[in-house]
Amino acid sequence: MKRIIRTAVILLMFLFMVLPGLTAQAAKKPSSSPGPLLQYIDDLRKNPGDNILREKIIKLAQSTKPAPAVPEEAERNMARGTAFAQKATDSAGYKKAIAEFEAAANTAPWLALAYYNLGVVQEKAGFYVEAIQSLKFYLMAAPDAKNARDVKNKIYALEVDAEDMQAGKNAPAPAPAPERKTDKSLALAGKPALEIEPDKQLRIIKMPQDKKSRMSNFIGNWYYKQTLRGEELTIPAFEIARNASGDLVVNPPKRTADSVAAVNVFEIADKRLKLQMKWKMRSVVGYWKTETYDLMISDDGSKLTGLHNQQSVGGRNIDMDRVLSRQ
């Protein structure tokens, strides 16, 4: 009996010595508590423009195990944003979708799809700079996304759209283009070739000289007005001129030092003008953008009206009705 009692006393003494150490180790053990993440999200909702904090949240959420659940509030915003985007027919409609996707991205800042959808509708509303930032957050939140290459190309294309918008806002009236020498090797059977390399001289296209068509009415610098973010901008479209040989030539507008254009199609028949320009960037491999015009000149020669189509790498394809004026 004495031996049993002695053994019990030794065990109790051992437990009293060991338990405090175990308790301390448990206290020091890292916790997967979402406390810091919740605090960061609360701070972000108070200041949604804090991109540094947003990046911190995205990285913290990626290292959190298990991954944080998407709140029902964010799921609701995503569904509403999708509904607004599908119904949108103008900028006001897309702005409603933008508000919902922004709310989702603020409630669940790690939700990659919120940034992707936000970038899509921001582009449709003409907010190119904001769309670029949203797509960058998408790539950060989904680093292994299967469409990462396409999204990167879309970002490059949006950078050009943003530059074009800024150039249209600040660019002076285009100066008369210098005369160019005719290069007959660039024409096939009197029709323009399909494409030329962007670092070569733009082709001179010979057009049939029909006095009845009054082709001189097309000569001039043409531009159109476009409203972006409530501000009306003057966007240079193209210039049509005659060279020393009497041939009509098309000169694309000056956009940025890095972008160059080739004229793929240039046709005038009576009062109708068909024109396509293909843009490339020297610093972005694989980037391209086409602008296609199908226009009719007014009886007084002061306006060109018709269709303006824009296509670019990444799948963008937009048809717009345009009214061009002569400078």
Q: Which pTM does this prediction carry?
A: 0.55
Give me 313's structure tokens. Answer: 């790498």
Q: What homologous superfamily is domain 35-145 in, according to CATH?
A: Tetratricopeptide repeat domain (1.25.40.10)
Cα distance between residue 68 and residue 251, in whole Å: 55
Q: Where do the structural domains in the chain lie, given as residue ranges?
A: 35-145, 180-326
Band of pLDDT at residue 263, cut at 50, 70 and 90 = very high
CATH of domain 180-326: 2.40.128
What is the residue-averaged pLDDT of the chain?
77
User: What would the pLDDT profile of 283-320 be if each residue is shown by its tens digit?
Assistant: 776 778 899 999 999 988 899 999 999 888 776 788 88
Cα distance between residue 134 and residue 51, in whole Å: 10
Give me 98's structure tokens. Answer: 């933008």
Q: How far is CA 191 from the centre of its chain?
A: 34
